[in-house]
Amino acid sequence: MNLADLSISELLKLHATAIEELKNRGVLRTKNNPVGDYAEWLVSSAFNLTLANNSAAGHDAESSDGKKIQIKSRRITKNNHSKQLGVIRNLEKNDFDELIAVIFNESYEIIEAYSIPHSTISKYSAHRAHVNGHILHLRGALLLDNSVLNISDKLKASTNSLKSLVSIAGTGEADPLA
């Protein structure tokens, strides 16, 4: 199929069908922008976390020992290189213990991933009243802080092993995840 031959309507229908199929496979939890849901699925699968309900305030997943994890992600494109994560609301409530941040390229491949303790976020984020939350950029001094762990290799390795576990519906063929 050559996407350039499809009409705008056909492309939008294809997008909607792809999102629905990813939701059916349990990769996405909503029909919104898939970047956040995909990151949550990858991180929870890689680190054996239990995803919280979509309505859970302040965290996205929990470890077996009760550690609450907030998962944020960003997809870098040729037109947008920003590594600003989504708004972190109610930081002062300590609703999570650790933030895992994942940066994807345009093809949803992992570029980098970090584990950041809650206590470190307030040092490097800025509260912005207009969004009612804290803004954090994955760059500079934050990434040099000794409390921040680069988990890119571990997440990429886990993603590679997931490739053999996820199968295309009804065919039994391995899904390349990429």
pTM above 0.85, yes or no: no
In the beta sheet, which residues pair with residue 69? 61, 98
List the one residue out of 101, 93, 109, 104 whose CA is nearest residue 150.
Answer: 101
3-state secondary structure of 153: helix
- Class of the 35-163 domain? alpha beta
- The percent of residues above 70 in pLDDT, for the chain, comes to 90
Q: pLDDT digits over 29-42, tens only? A: 887 788 999 999 99
3-state secondary structure of 53: coil
In the beta sheet, which residues pair with residue 77? 80
Who has greater pLDDT, 16 or 50? 50
Instruction: Measure the N-to-C terminal CA separation of the chain; round to a whole number of Å.
Output: 18
Q: Give the integer Cα–Cα distance in Å for 92 and 173.
A: 46
- Give the domain ranges of the chain: 1-32, 35-163
